[in-house]
Structure 1
C-alpha cells in the first residue's frame, strides 16, 4: 500500500511539474491601439498573423489581449496601467499616443511600437539607434518627396494644399512642419486647419472650399476615423483628396501612396517574436516599414473632378474602377 501511495505521489508530482512547465511556455502578448480604423486594424492583424505563422497559437502557447482606447488619451493611459499590472511578456502599441502611454508607465516590460512616424520626436527613443531601454518598434515614416510628387501628378498646377490635422498628434504636427519646409521652395502653400475631435472634421473640410487645389491627409487618427465625412465634402466641393495610407482610397481618396499597414504589422510581429525568443528590445534598433503601395481610384477621381494620368494608373499596385 505504501508503495502504491509513493507511486501515486510521484505520478501526481510529475503531472504538476508538467502543468507548471506548460504554463511557463505560454507567452502573453498585450496589444493596444489608440482607436480602431482600417489602417490600424490591418497593423493588428499583421502582428497576430506573424505570431500565428511562427507557431504562437492562442489557447495553446499564446495568451493574446487587445484593448482600444477609443480615441481617448485618458483611456490609453488607463489601458497602459492595466497592461503593466498584468505583466505580459511583450506589449505592442499601435500609434504614437498608445506607445507614449505604455512608455510612461513602465521601464521594464518590453514595448514594441508600430504605426509611429517618428519615435525620436515622440520621445520613445533617443535616436534611431538601439535604445538600451525597453522600447523598440517599426515606424511608418514616408518620404515626403514621393508624397509631393504624387500630389503634383494629380494636380500639376498645384498652388495651395489643404491639410486637416489633430494638434495633439505628434505625427501630424511633425509632418506639417516638414511639408511646409519642402513646399516653400516650390512656391506651394499649405493651409493647415486644426481639428481637435473627429466631429470637427466636416467643418474643417468645408472651411477649405474655394481656398485649396487639393487636400492631403496623413495617418492622423482623428482624420482617419472620420474619413467618410471628409470624403463627402471633397466630392461635393470637387476637391481632389490624396492620402498617405492606402486604406483611405477605399474610403474615398482618389490616390494614396503609403505603407502597407498589414505588412507593417508583420514587421512589428517579427520584433515581438525575437523578444519572446530572448532578445532584449534595447538591443534592437527601431526600423522603418519596408513595403509601400500606390493605390488609385478612377471612381473617386471622377467624383472629385479629376482625370488621373494614365502613367499614374499604370504604376499603381491597385486600381479601384468599379
Structure 2
C-alpha cells in the first residue's frame, strides 16, 4: 500500500469513530456526593441511573468518586471538602444539602446539581437562564407543589381539617420556609388548618406524628429533603401506625407503604443531569448552561394502605395515577 493511500485510510477511520471516543482524554474523573447511606438500595438505584446515563453518553470508562453522606450534616461537609481536594473534572451534587457545602468549598470546579429548589435565592447561580459561575443543574421542587400535595390529601380524605408539613430547618431549603406561603394559601382556600411540624431527630418525628394521630381529621405532608429521605421508611411506618394519611414527594415511599406520593421522577432528573456532565467534560462552561426544571412527575397511590386506613379512593383518582400499589 502506498503512503498516500495509507494516510487516507487512517483519516477515514478517524472520521468513522464516534464523537465520544474522540472526546475522552484518559483519566477523566467525576465526583458525586449523595444523601443516602451507601448500603441504601434506593441510593444505589439513583447512582445506577447516573452511571448508566454517563455510559450512554460515552463516559463508561470515567472514574466516579462517590461519597455517601447518609443524611449526616457534618459527614456531608467533610465529604464535600474531600471531593474538592481530589480536583475532579466535574462534581455532581444530589439535593440541596449536598450542594451547599460543595458550593462553599470551590468556586472553580464545575458542579452539576439535581434538587436545589431555589438556586438563585440560595446564591448558587446568578439567574436560571445564565447561571454565570461554576454551578448549574436541574431543580426538582417548587413552592406550588405544597398546594398540589394538600389538594391530593383533601381528595382522598374529604373530612380533612388539619395538615402538618413535616420539615427539618437544618436540612430543608430556606430553613423550611420554601413551601410556607403556598402551603398556607392553599390551606386557607380549603378551610384547613396548616401546621408546621419542625423535626430534628427521630424522637421529634415520632412525637409529631403521634400528636397528629390523636386528632381526627389530621394528615401529613412530608416535604422533600435529605432528612426526610434518610428517615422515609420510619415516617411511613409511624404514619401508618398512628393512622395518619400522608403524602410524600418521593415515589418510593408510596411503593413501600405510604398512602400517596407526587413529585418529579428523580431517576429521570439524575439521568438528565448527566447530559450537563457530558457537555462540561467536552469543554462547555457550567455558567453558560441554563438551570432546568423537571419534566416528568409521578403520582403513586398505595391502595393497600388506603384500605388499611379506611379510605375509599375514587376511581377517577386511580385513573390519574401513574402507578397503583395493591
Q: How many pairs does the alignment contain?
A: 298
1:251 and 1:84 mapped to 2: Cα distance?
35
Change (3 A) 1:68 1:24: same
Say yes or no: does 1:197 pair with 2:198: no
Per-residue deviation at 1:313?
1.1
User: Which of 169, 172, 189 matches 1:170?
Assistant: 172
Given that 1:249 and 1:256 are in contact with CA atoms closer than 8 Å, whether structure 2 keeps it comes out as yes
CA distance in 1, matches of 2:261, 2:117: 17
Q: Which runs of 5+ in 2 are unaligned?
A: 1-21
Matches of residues 145-184 of structure 1 in structure 2 within 5 Å?
145-171=147-173, 172-184=176-188
Aligned to 2:133: 133
> Who is 1:30 aligned against?
31
Q: Provide the C-alpha distance between the structure 2 equivalents of 1:38 and 1:245, rounded to a whole number of angstroms.
A: 15
Residues 223 and 136 from structure 1, CA distance in 2 versus in 1: closer, same or farther, beyond 3 angstroms? same
- 8 Å CA contact 2:129, 2:291 repeated in 1: yes
What aligned pairs does 1:78-89 form with structure 2 within 5 A after superposition?
78-89=78-89
Q: Which moved more, 1:308-317 or 1:38-47?
A: 38-47
Query: What SS class does the counterpart of residue 66 from structure 1 fall into?
Result: strand
Q: Distance in 2 between matches of 1:56 and 1:260?
A: 23
* 1:161-212 Cα shifts (integer Å, max 9, x gaps): 0222101123343123431233223322212211112443222211222335
Give the alignment's TM-score, normalised by structure 1: 0.85
Q: Tell me the TM-score normalised to structure 2 length.
A: 0.84
How far does residue 158 in structure 1 lie from its aligned partner after superposition?
Answer: 2.4
1:45 aligns with 2:48: yes
Change (3 A) 1:318 1:38: farther
* SS at structure 2 position matched to 1:293: strand
Larger mean Cα displacement after TM superposition, 289-298 or 304-313? 304-313
- Kept after mapping to 1: 8 A contact 2:34/2:94: yes
Unaligned stretches of 5+ residues in structure 1: 1-20
Q: Retained in 2: the 8 A contact 1:240–1:306?
A: no
Contact 2:212–2:218 under 8 Å retained in 1: no
CA distance in 2, matches of 1:227, 1:71: 11
